[in-house]
Amino acid sequence: MTIPNSNNLAEPHPMMPKVNHDEIAEQMFVSDLKTFIGRELEPGQSKLMNNKVIPQMTKARGKAPANHIEVRGEMEKEIDYQAWATLTRTAQEMMWDSVATCVDRQLDKLVAKSDVKNPKGSLTVNPDFVVPRYIDAFDIHCMPGNYHAVTRENDVRQGAVFDRAAAIYHMGRNGGFMNDIRGHTVVSHYFERWPEAKPQRILDIGCTVGHSTVAVAEYFPQAEMHAIDVGAGLLRYAWARAEHVGSAIHFSQQNAEATNYPDNHFDLVYSSAVLHETSHAALPRIMAECKRILKPGGVMVHLEVPGHYSHLDTWGRIRGDFEIFYNNEPFWRGALTTDFKKLVEDAGFKDVKSGFQDATKQAKKGVQGFFEKSKGVHVSWFMVSGVK
């Protein structure tokens, strides 16, 4: 994937940090490095495991290893694995560093751009807000300052860093600089299951910078659109980003486990790749809150990463553990072992279905894209949905 030089091409939106020659060169290098590691080096780790490590373990013990944790312990002794792991973590740190450099250079201008006159939507931040411990305890994705760090008054830094880095992180596979494929995919799932629905009030929980929020809002111009997240700076950026592309969205700083919305308020509540960044304790509380704020007959949809542990081979599970230990995703294994269908049913929802939705750049009614099996990362997204 090559990141386009956004100084030569039309900006996706005015809030996107601009890059100079050196910055785009560095970011393109990081993107290409990540692509090389993923496409060229990572497949070799699976071969190393299957052709050397597991046979040696089996021969030495007289039986096959009991689980992927045992295999991972032996893999970590291999120089090839150590090199791959070091490069993967280093490339992630380089990504954040390269983006932070260009954001900090122009942060004053970005803050000025976020001062939107005559807004269509709204922004509410809470100076007394307490970030949940499962977010506050780690810099998720190794992002310095995580989602909620604030460095100055009217700060938008974390949002700007996250927005530009997302294109590199997904290597362009999630919709380029707009990073909105997951939003379109949520709507595609909604259209497939409830083609006649016309939601009047919608909530995006864990919206980050509004990648999916803006995409979903495009399909329902008649709806009142809301979005919540935990970071004030993140939300300031998300709100300004939405305003600059003409979307009227109401952003507020809230915890999805206990919002301030009234009972029976929304027709559609959804999330996009949020649940794997929560916790075992938070998950059922989020489901209960979604049910409380939905109207009778309202719909809940959650999109998640497609690699459930029950579908992963040994290398897939070791790769998942790498995310836990070296990419600061502490709930990765918890999310990938959760029975989401049962979780939603236990929360009291009906007509619950789970499966895999084809990723799409444009949701259309009448298109079948919801299947029992995944077609692969960024090709399919895991979906669970139900009705109050």
* Average pLDDT across the chain, whole number: 94
Q: Give CA 288 to chain center in angstroms.
A: 22
Domain assignment present for residue 89? The answer is no
Task: Write the burial class of residue 373 (CB in 10 Å: 0-12 exposed, 13-18 middle, 19+ buried).
Answer: exposed
Report whether pLDDT(388) > 70.
yes
Instruction: State the Cα–Cα distance between residues 69 and 369, nearest whole angstrom.
Output: 35
Cα radius of gyration (the chain): 21
Total domains in the fold of the chain: 1
Q: Looking at residue 12, what is its pLDDT?
A: 84
Residues 139-163, mean pLDDT to the nearest whole number = 95
CATH number at residue 305: 3.40.50.150
Q: What is the mean pLDDT of residues 20-32?
A: 94
The backbone region for 366, taken as left when phi is positive above 0, alpha when psi lies in -120 to 50, beta otherwise, is left
For residue 311, the model assigns a pLDDT of 85
11: pLDDT confidence band, cut at 50, 70 and 90? low
Strands 201-205 and 350-358: unpaired
Is there a domain that residue 74 lies in? no
Identify the CA nearest to 164 among candidates 11, 385, 358, 62.
Answer: 11
Considering the domain boundaries, does residue 284 fall inside one? yes
Q: What is the reported pLDDT for 306?
A: 87
Q: How far apart are CA 119 and CA 291, in angstroms?
A: 30
- Residue 289 pLDDT greater than 70, yes or no: yes
d(CA 312, CA 326): 19
Residues 377 and 359 sit within 8 Å (Cβ to Cβ):
no
Give me the domain span that covers residue 268: 166-312+327-387
| Tens-place pLDDT, residues 188-234 | 999 999 999 999 999 999 999 999 999 999 999 999 999 999 999 99
Reading the block at residue 308, the tokens are 């459930």
Residue 148: HSE in the Cβ half-sphere, 13 Å Cα cutoff? 24
**Structural domain contains residue 112:** no
pTM: 0.94
In a domain, 227, yes or no: yes
Q: What is the predicted pLDDT for the residue at 316?
A: 94
Residue 308 lies in a domain: yes
Determine the pLDDT at residue 22. Answer: 95
Give the pLDDT confidence of 319-373 residue by residue, as tens digits.
999 999 999 999 999 988 999 999 999 999 999 999 999 999 999 999 999 999 9
Is residue 159 in some structural domain? Answer: no
Answer whether residue 134 is part of any domain: no
